[in-house]
Chains A and B, each alone.
Chain A
Amino acid sequence: MAEFLQFAFSGLTVGAVYALVALGFTLIYNASDVINFAQGEFVMLGGMATVFLSLAGVPVPLAALIAVAATTVVGLALYKLAIDPARGASAVTLIIITIGASIFLRGVASIVFDKRFHSLPHWFGDRPLTVAGASVLPQSLVVLAGALVIVVLLWAFFERTLFGKAVLATAANRVAAKLSGIDTGFVVGFSFAVSAAIGAVAGVLVTPITLTSFDVGTLLALKGFAAAMLGGMGHPVGAVVGGLVVGLLEAFGAGYISSQYKDAMAFIVILAVLFAMPNGLFGRTRIERV
Chain B
Amino acid sequence: MSDVLLSVENLRSSYGRIEALHGVSLEVRRGEIVTLVGGNGAGKTTLMRAISGVQPVTAGLIRFKGEAIGRVDAHRRVALGIAQVPEGRQVFAPLSVADNLRLGAWSRKDEGVAADIEDIYRQFPVLREKRDLQAGGLSGGQQQMLALGRALMAKPELILLDEPSMGLAPILVEQIFEAIAGLKARGITVLLVEQNAMQALAIADRGYVIETGTITHSGEGRALLDDPKVRGAYLGV
Chain A contact residues, CB within 8 Å of chain B: 162, 165-166, 168-169, 172-173, 175-184, 286-290
Contact = CB atoms under 8 A, between A and B. Distances in A.
Nearest to B82: A179
Nearest to B104: A180
Given A172-B95, A184-B75, A290-B88, A178 B106 contact: no
B11 to A, nearest CB: 18
B103 A166 contact: yes
Contacts of B94: 168, 172, 286
Contacts of A182: 75, 103, 106
B79 interface: yes
A244 B54 CA distance: 41
A176 B104 CA distance: 10
B84 interface: yes
B90 A176 contact: yes
A179 B102 CA distance: 14
Contacts of B119: none
A260 B10 CA distance: 68
A184 B84 CA distance: 16
A168 B78 CA distance: 19
B138 A181 contact: no
Nearest to A176: B90
B75 A169 contact: no
21 contacts: A165-B99, A168-B95, A169-B95, A173-B91, A175-B54, A177-B103, A178-B54, A179-B54, A179-B90, A180-B154, A181-B78, A181-B107, A182-B75, A182-B103, A286-B94, A286-B136, A288-B93, A288-B137, A289-B136, A289-B140, A290-B88
Contacts of B83: 179
Contacts of A177: 92, 103
A180 B104 CA distance: 5
B40 interface: no
Nearest to B99: A165
A183 B53 CA distance: 12
The 7 closest A-B pairs by CB, nearest first: A181-B107, A181-B78, A176-B90, A178-B74, A288-B136, A169-B92, A181-B106
Contacts of B103: 162, 165-166, 169, 177, 180, 182
A114 to B, nearest CB: 44
Contact of A176 (B91, B102, B139, B140): B91
B52 interface: yes
B120 to A, nearest CB: 14
Contact of A289 (B75, B78, B84, B139): B139
B143 interface: yes
A173 B104 contact: no
A187 B211 CA distance: 38
